Amino acid sequence: MDKYYTALVIGGVTFGTAAIFIKFSNMTPGMIAFSRFLVAGIILSRGRVNFRNIVKNLKVGFLLAVHMILFILSVYNTTIIDSTVLVSTSPIFSLALSPLVGIPTTRKEIVTGLIAFLGVIIMNFPLNEGRLYGNLLAVLSALAISLYTIILSKNQEDDPLLLTSYVYLSSTIFSFPFLLIQGVGKIDLVSVLSLLGLIIFPTLIGHTSVIYASGHVKPSHIEVIGLLEPVVATVLSFFLFKQVPTSFELLGSGLVIISIALLVNR
């Protein structure tokens, strides 16, 4: 497994912490999205903020902001497991859309994508109709992040950390209006620590790993490896919120791990 796949697997594990930190926070979705990307973007810029390049990445910044706002809203409107599982349907969107932008899809990628998707469906069976709104937001968030990954794969930047900084800072432009509309929310010690956790783990490590690997790993591969997120979230939910995983969730998690193993062992 080369360094790009290793980075993605590590990133996929850290993504699983995102919903946990969000669940603990009392801040608004707009405040969470704006703050985490602003701080992370400034850190990764290393004092080399280039406004022209920030504007150049507005398209991916917009999609990242949309994905994040929808994901946070979904966590607030459904369970952690449902939210992370449904947002992880992004590989299906990625596989379906990749040929439209000239990225070929192999039979192996289709098979691993279907196995992963089957695992996601099994993990979430039966779907709780009472949380339909939150579940729908999670699916729309999955569509946004798949488009983000596809467009990002076309970007060729010599310094991946600077590219990450540009994307994060451009996303704050679209997150800021939500902050103005929704307000800050409640700022307390737990919320601040949760925000710091979001910045360090799923943002600086997770999303940065995606940008680092983009251009070297196919978007569909990135999305399938990202399916580690619901597996990790399920485990953490058990210990932190006493949400005991069902046999369906355990079986589905196993299929997700198998699909990732098949994909990274080239």
Residues 6+ apart with CB under 8 A from 64: 37, 144, 145, 148, 167, 168, 171, 207
Question: pLDDT value at position 200?
Answer: 94
Question: pLDDT value at position 212?
Answer: 86
Question: pLDDT value at position 129?
Answer: 67
Question: pLDDT value at position 127?
Answer: 67
Three-state DSSP class for residue 92: helix
Exposure string of 53-66, with b = 16+ CB inside 10 Å and e = fewer, is: bbeebeebbbbbbb
Q: Which of 235, 232, 236, 234 lies closest to 260 in space, CA to CA?
A: 232
Q: Which of 264, 246, 265, 266 lies closest to 254 in space, CA to CA?
A: 246
Look at the chain and report how many structural domains it folds into: 1
Domain residues for the domain of 211 are 3-264
Question: pLDDT value at position 65?
Answer: 95
- The list of the chain residues with pLDDT below 50 reads none
Q: How many residues does the chain have?
A: 266
Please report, for residues 103, 166, 192, 266, the alpha-carbon distance to residue 87 in angstroms, rounded to integers and kept in the order given.
Answer: 22, 24, 25, 26
